[in-house]
Chains A and B, each alone.
Chain A
Amino acid sequence: MAAEIATSEERQARVTGGDLLRALGREPVVLLAVVFLVALAIAAGFASWLAPYDPLMPNIFAGRLPPFSEAKGMTGAVQFHVLGTDALGRDMLTRLMFGAQASVAVGVVAVAISGTIGTVLGLVAGYYGGRAETLIMRTVDGVMAVPSLLIALFVLSLVGGGLVNMVLIFAFVRWVVYARLARGITLSYRQSSFVEAARSIGATDGRIIFRHILPNMLSPLLVLGTLEIALLILAEAGLSFLGFGLQPPEPSWGLMIARGREYLREAWWMITFPGLAIFLTTLSLNLLANWLRTITDPVQRWRWLI
């Protein structure tokens, strides 16, 4: 009897995947954003199989063709370019899909690294306090005082661009936001009764931190991580646009805009589509983060789930 009551309470407290989907169905704009992100992930992940043409191979018969053009390929076969071609005759849609790979890779990997490092350091700072906290939080303040884009720009100009360098630099400049969040939440839980209780029955520090405190900050971390992916995709494109990020012939959305800028008057599609791709991706991520924040907030959650 007692056990049954406990499980039914538990069932009420826990949000299931079905609840989430139903809540999502009531927000058509967010649903659209999620559909776009899933499609983007598939297009990026399977670009090598799904993309119609080669992203790097130039085609002298097809330079700067507008959307919905046909042209003879280098092999002689007729090619159809839904979104047109760039200055070297490469298919825009194909390059957008491979550009998505770079953007998603930089955003997701850098967020995973910086999120892990920042969260652990924030937990340590908040839980133990003392000299470790002073050292960690002073570093956080220092890195935060200088705009991330400026640090990234400076370091990239010294060490050179490329995917790996960008991921490392973004991880280095962005771990601080997670550290600040994790420390704040840890401080608010350190003196709470459930941590006290865990300690009194002999739980180790590691167990308290990772089994009792960490689960309580996963929602805000998820929201922050989503926002950070959007921020880093924008930063990657911006740095590549300036020439300090990914280097040609690597397909990158920012680089595509930079190249298209030279043909602004003649070929509007060369900047329009890569820009739209970045904009829709960041907008979708921001919409998703906004919605996640509302739905994971215990005060507001009931409004969405009933």
Chain B
Amino acid sequence: MIANVLGGYFMRRLIGSAVMLFIVMSAVFVADRNIGDPARMILGDTGTEADVLELRLRMGLEDPWHVQYGRFVAGLVTFDLGETFRYGISKPLAHGGIPESRATLPIAAERLPATFLLTGVAIALSVLVALPLGIWAAVRPRTIGDRLVNVLSLAGVSIVEYWFALILILLFAVQLDWLPTSGYGTAAHVILPALALSLRPIGRITQIARSSMLDELAKPYVTAARGRGIPISKIASVHALKNAAIPVVTTIGEETINVITGVIIIETVFGWPGIGALTVDALKIRDVPLIEATIFLLVLMVLSINLVVDLLYALLNPRVRLG
């Protein structure tokens, strides 16, 4: 019965997310078609009119807009978002004429594992630090320790990630020479970018864990348990934790999404070969098909996380899934 209700809920949310992805990509399509001639941008001022026309034909830009849009929608379904004529091509304009090309979605998808790794490490680190910190502060409200945690978590939320990243590089890579300044490959490479990304989620998750634990500890069953002589630390970690977890799970989901937008800047700073750095590159050279592919994957990731969080929420809180 629960599985059925959950299944129906899941299907509704899944369809909603697909519709959302479709609307977002349509908006991107409309915006992208209004920034000038992509063929002229690829060939530059030196390209001849004939070459530009040929490239426009090949890119399908001479078709009426509804044909282009139909092809775009079909591409969304079949995971074919067009080809780039510039990105990752060794000699795009060597001999004049039409340059070679590569499909964009595989280029963007190749970047996903690096981003998953960085996001995963940053979020795992955040949860490991923030949950105990928040609970620790909640069992001793209004003490010096609690106030300190409060100010520190606010400082974490206010952090300027890329600036903090540069300070970390200056300190640990340039001055102390303990860790590499940038790059990808070994465990040492992931430490600084993950650290830079984790301060904000640590602050947010600590705040939410603390406040939801405080609410929970004020409830009668906790008073009853304390009356029976059970130490508060045990009540917090055994009895109250599960009930206090619901807002925390939502916050972890939101923070994962924030980290995914955070990687856009942090990957650029650390030369991390993820989808965030690729997005910035694509936007800088205004490579329309590549922009569409990176935004498609980023939005897909965000919507998927939202879906998972809502599902977890329904699992943890029966009032949502049955209501």
Contacts and interface: CB of A to CB of B under 8 A. Distances in A.
Nearest to A33: B154
A149 to B, nearest CB: 5
Interface string A265-295: 1001001101100110011011100100000
Contacts of B258: 147
A154 B28 contact: yes
B212 interface: no
A154 B299 CA distance: 12
B295 A154 contact: yes
Interface-central residue, B151, B162, B257, B265, by most chain A CB under 10 Å = B162
Given A155-B31, A243-B284, A283-B155, A257 B162 contact: yes
A271 B167 contact: yes
A216 interface: no
B169 interface: yes
B23 A142 contact: yes
B35 A158 contact: yes
A146 interface: yes
Contacts of A301: none
B268 interface: yes
Interface in B174-230: 174
Chief secondary structure at chain A's binding surface: helix
A268 B160 contact: no
A241 B265 contact: yes
B303 A282 contact: no
Contacts, number: 102
Nearest to A268: B170
B303 A153 contact: no
Nearest to A234: B160
A110 interface: no
Nearest to B157: A286
Interface residues of A, number: 38
Interface residues of B, number: 44
Contacts of B279: 153
Interface in A111-150: 142, 145-147, 149-150
A275 B303 contact: no
Contacts of A175: none
B31 A158 contact: yes
Nearest to A155: B31
Given A145-B302, A145-B303, A279 B154 contact: no
A294 B306 CA distance: 30
A279 B163 contact: yes
Contact of A238 (B162, B166, B170): B162
Nearest to A227: B157
Contact of A290 (B154, B162, B264, B286): B154
B216 to A, nearest CB: 17
A283 B154 contact: yes
B158 A145 contact: no
B261 interface: yes
B280 interface: yes
Contacts of A243: 284
A42 B108 CA distance: 46
Given A145-B306, A271-B166, A283-B155, A278 B160 contact: yes
B291 interface: yes
Contacts of B151: 29, 287
Given A154-B31, A241-B162, A265 B174 contact: yes
Contacts of A305: none
Interface of A: 29, 142, 145-147, 149-150, 153-155, 157-158, 230, 234, 237-238, 241-244, 257, 260-261, 264-265, 268, 271-272, 274-275, 278-279, 282-283, 285-287, 290
23 contacts: A145-B306, A146-B299, A147-B260, A147-B261, A149-B264, A150-B261, A150-B298, A157-B286, A234-B160, A238-B161, A238-B162, A242-B280, A257-B166, A271-B166, A271-B167, A274-B163, A275-B164, A279-B163, A282-B157, A283-B154, A283-B155, A283-B158, A285-B158
Which 6 A-B pairs have CB atoms at the shortest separation, nearest pair first? Answer: A275-B163, A282-B158, A283-B158, A157-B283, A147-B261, A149-B261
